[in-house]
Structure 1
């Protein structure tokens, strides 16, 4: 079964349904997230960072989710050398890990076959694909419980997690 949600994702509801784990796979070298554009521009221009209410809300959601006993993990597959976007993301990821996310990195050249799309594996029984439009902007979610897709996603998670370097260690390089 596939459910398509073209509205902005309702992360609060999606995470409220999680009982054990929410794993995120990120594979793109850059993202066009409207809430990030000014912060990213300031990073590129060497300007001081601005507070980010969107990120604060996200980290509040992560703290609440982890507080219920749900693990929130993420693997970022990155091209080396890092793109400007991933250099910026690396500079701001500490707030995610401080909120409790376990974020790890795998260089693309070591990752082997990688799916072309980002997705969340939720409780090992649902996969939520992050949809983007032609401009790379968020365009909703497609959620499936198809056993084949779920099994494939679990295998990808296990393989990449075994190769991944924790954020704090990766950031020191």
Structure 2
């Protein structure tokens, strides 16, 4: 496994040819650059809707014909952070991502991982590495065929059970 910083991972993502899939399994994330928007959302129900460098990167990738999918496995009722994610997801979708949601009670825990990761062209898996404070520490990438096969099978299970964003409403 090779640990990549975010810029190295972004370059890897840019080189995807067919599909990038992101599995998110946490109900809370500590993302420094979201703190102000989260606080504003919790106070007023609104947030800054301008695109970040992430959305521009996804737009660049999807404009080349690469499919970018994201599945969020969440606990219901939702945490405040999950409600914030749901509200901000239209920015992901506008940049070209296909986002789905899955209530974690609707999948056998044995069919799921507890880690967040990306599959890239069905050939590599990039595990999200979090720092002690919860912020992103980088991504650990492997091309081990056993791990890649397993994560691809988890992706298929989750994706087939998940609900498209347009059909999913936040649960309080």
Shared fold, TM over 0.5: yes
Distance change >3 Å, CA 152–CA 116, structure 1 → 2: same
Asked if 1:122 corresponds to 2:120, the answer is yes
From 36, 39, 42, the equivalent of 1:41 is: 39
Aligned residues: 169
Q: How does 1:1-173 map to 2 (within 5 A)?
A: 2-5=1-4, 7-46=5-44, 48-52=46-50, 55-113=51-109, 114-171=112-169
Note the C-alpha offset of 1:9: 4.2
TM-score by length of 1: 0.91
Cα distance in structure 2, aligned partners of 1:51 and 1:95: 7
5+ long unaligned stretches in structure 1: none
Report the Cα distance in structure 2 between the residues aligned to 1:109 and 1:58, rounded to whole angstroms. 30
- RMSD across aligned positions (CA): 1.6
Question: 1:141/1:78 Cα in 2 relative to 1: closer, same or farther (>3 Å)?
Answer: same
TM-score normalised by L of structure 2: 0.92
Runs of 4+ that moved beyond 4 A: none
**1:10 partner SS:** helix
Question: What are the ranges of 5 or more consecutive residues in structure 2 without an aligned counterpart?
Answer: none
SS at match of 1:127: strand
Contact 2:125 2:141 in 1 (8 A): yes
